[in-house]
Amino acid sequence: MIDDAVVQFSAGSLMLLNAILAVVMFSIAIDLKPSDFRVLVKAPKPLVIGLLSQFLLLPVLTYLLVMVTRPQASVALGLILVAACPGGNISNFITHRAGGNAALSVSMTGFATIGAIMLTPANIALWGSLYEPSAAILRATAIDPVSIAITVGFMLVLPLVLGVTLNTTRPSLTARLRAPLQWLSMAIFVGFVVLALAANWDLFLAFAGGIAGLVIVHNALGFGGGYALASLAQLSPFDRRAVTIETGIQNSGLGLVLIFGFFGGLGGMAVVAAFWGIWHAISGLFLAAIMSRTEAAQ
């Protein structure tokens, strides 16, 4: 039974993953300046639509998917937890490849990261409690929203603040660091995921097949929901691409940290987050290749 399976992940590995994600977030933050945020405050509609898509629409679609498919408890909670996370770090790179508004994407990642301090634990608690099998896990886990908020703050928000500050005070330095740091941090993150999968390969093979379909549908709902909401809000094609990708690319690395930090590496949750980490990169790059065939009007 996948609910009885526990992925092997040491305390040292968890600390390393925290550090890697902090470096990835820092590499994104050095692309940002306070003026980027001021521009979005003056014209906030694309940002607001993107955040609604990420923190409201995707969790609702995830809950509906869970109610229709009725997966096992840990699988359902894994899907809910991933949906509750902010946008993934590779969304900015994929948005750029897709010909979308990369500045909006980076800013959405920044705002979503700050919002995740409150919204991620709130969404996990709300939607997880509405599906009785996963609610039983939450009751047994006694998850502490404050602890999650502290984890998100140190791992994502602190690097964000440091990166923006460095870019403001030492722009010439961040200009030299930006490209190599982004590529290096992503390479380290991908390498870490590969090594973690290798250490638990038998477990992953045993259960990934049954979970793959759910993750693929879930990811498609993210992309489709983001596109639909951005279209209904009459965003420009340039902004719509950013919202679409930001909704379909989730920070599954943060999901893994929360799973191992607060749920003891529960098998179904860990396999969902791990497969998400692989699949959303593949689907995102494929979608970007399609989008990039035509130029997006601004």
pLDDT for position 282: 84
pLDDT for position 4: 56
Q: Is the pLDDT at 247 greater than 90, yes or no?
A: yes
pLDDT for position 10: 56
The tally of domains found in the chain comes to 1
Do the domain assignments include residue 295?
no
The region of weakest confidence among 19-23, 70-74, 80-84 is 19-23
Span 148-166, mean pLDDT? Answer: 81
Span 100-108, mean pLDDT? Answer: 83
Rounded Cα–Cα distance for residues 28 and 72 (Å)? 36
Mean pLDDT of the chain: 83
Residues of the domain holding 39? 2-290
pLDDT for position 43: 77
pLDDT for position 45: 92
Question: How far is the CA of 80 from the CAs of 45, 76, 182, in angstroms?
Answer: 26, 6, 28
Do the domain assignments include residue 121?
yes
pLDDT for position 240: 94
pLDDT tens per residue, range 160-186: 888 888 888 888 888 888 778 777 777
pLDDT for position 103: 77
pLDDT for position 256: 82
Rounded Cα–Cα distance for residues 147 and 273 (Å)? 20
The region of weakest confidence among 49-63, 69-83, 159-173, 229-243 is 159-173
Per-residue confidence band for 1, with pLDDT thresholds at 50, 70 and 90: low
Residue 131's region, left for phi above 0, alpha for psi from -120 to 50, else beta, is beta
pLDDT for position 7: 58
Per-residue confidence band for 114, with pLDDT thresholds at 50, 70 and 90: confident
Do the domain assignments include residue 54?
yes
Rounded Cα–Cα distance for residues 233 and 133 (Å)? 35
Do the domain assignments include residue 275?
yes
Q: Is the pLDDT at 197 greater than 80, yes or no?
A: no
- Percentage of residues of the chain with pLDDT beyond 70: 86
Do the domain assignments include residue 73?
yes
Do the domain assignments include residue 14?
yes
Q: Are 97 and 37 in contact (CB under 8 A)?
A: no
pLDDT for position 180: 83
- Percentage of residues of the chain with pLDDT beyond 90: 29
pLDDT for position 188: 74
Q: Is the pLDDT at 117 greater than 70, yes or no?
A: yes
Whichever domain contains 110, its CATH number is: 1.20.1530.20
Per-residue confidence band for 16, with pLDDT thresholds at 50, 70 and 90: confident
Rounded Cα–Cα distance for residues 200 and 275 (Å)? 13
pLDDT for position 182: 72
- How many degrees, rounded to 5, is the angle at CA 69 between CA 142 and CA 148? 25
Tell which wins on pLDDT, 72 or 20.
72
Per-residue confidence band for 255, with pLDDT thresholds at 50, 70 and 90: confident
Q: Is the pLDDT at 156 greater than 90, yes or no?
A: no
Do the domain assignments include residue 298?
no
The region of weakest confidence among 56-60, 117-121, 226-230, 276-280 is 276-280
Do the domain assignments include residue 6?
yes
Rounded Cα–Cα distance for residues 220 and 214 (Å)? 10
The region of weakest confidence among 57-66, 104-113, 139-148, 162-171 is 139-148
